[in-house]
Amino acid sequence: MRVVDPARHDERRRAILRAAARCIADKGFHAASTADIRTAAGVSTGTLFHYFPGKQAIAAAIVDLEGEEVRELLDGLAADVAAGGSALAALRHVLDAVVDHAADPANVRLALELAAEAARDSDLARHIARNDAALQEGMRALLATAAARREAGADPTLDVRAAAAWIGVLIDGFFNRAALDPGFRVGEQRAALHRLVASLIGSCSMGVR
């Protein structure tokens, strides 16, 4: 019996997903065929279907891999904050990660392709919703800590759920603008995004109308 090396299996699986992500970003979800994906990944048809039963499963796995990366980032930041680090600095780090990710046009195209497909595929939509829930939970925790500590004058009455939801709206809009507006220079928007979120945190305080 052939013994499977878990590390090698995982690395090949991730390599297939990276190749699939490039294909979907370049050609679109429906135009990218499994033949395109296996060619880009350098694997046989049998190997591709050994790892994934079809393109829908590949898309869901791409989303799950992105979710793992988001959770790793949030867990690391949460540990830093628990050790006494600034919660607002951690939130800025999240925003910087958004800008860095959106700076690659392929990432933006991939995000929009998967979002569009999720409107027709309820299973894929659930995978995306799970990632969004993790991001929202992580941001709420950072906002709650910042408010409790009154970091940089943060209002202790901050509605963290509303603030996190609106930051999510900004992130979604950031990706849409990056995709649709050729004049929107992603790398130059970092400071503006920081300022918008700082203003938003203030406007979501209970005492502000």
Give the pLDDT confidence of 1-53 residue by residue, as tens digits: 555 678 888 899 999 999 999 999 999 999 999 999 999 999 999 999 999 99
> What residue type is assigned to position 206 of the chain?
M
- Residue-level pLDDT at 207: 41
The residue extents of the domains of the chain are 55-201
- d(C-alpha 88, C-alpha 151), whole Å: 7
Contacts of 90 (CB under 8 A, 6+ apart): 77, 78, 80, 81, 142
What would the mean pLDDT of 105-114 be, rounded to a whole number?
96
- Residue-level pLDDT at 4: 64
Residue 209 has pLDDT above 50, yes or no: no
- Answer CATH for 55-201 from 3.40.50.620, 3.40.50.2300, 3.40.50.300, 1.10.357.10: 1.10.357.10
What would the mean pLDDT of 167-190 be, rounded to a whole number?
94
pTM to 2 decimal places: 0.89
Token readout for 200 is 């938003």
Residue 82 is classified by DSSP as H
What would the mean pLDDT of 115-136 be, rounded to a whole number?
97
Q: How many CA atoms lie within 13 A of 34 on its CB side?
A: 15
CB distance 56 to 123 below 8 Å:
yes
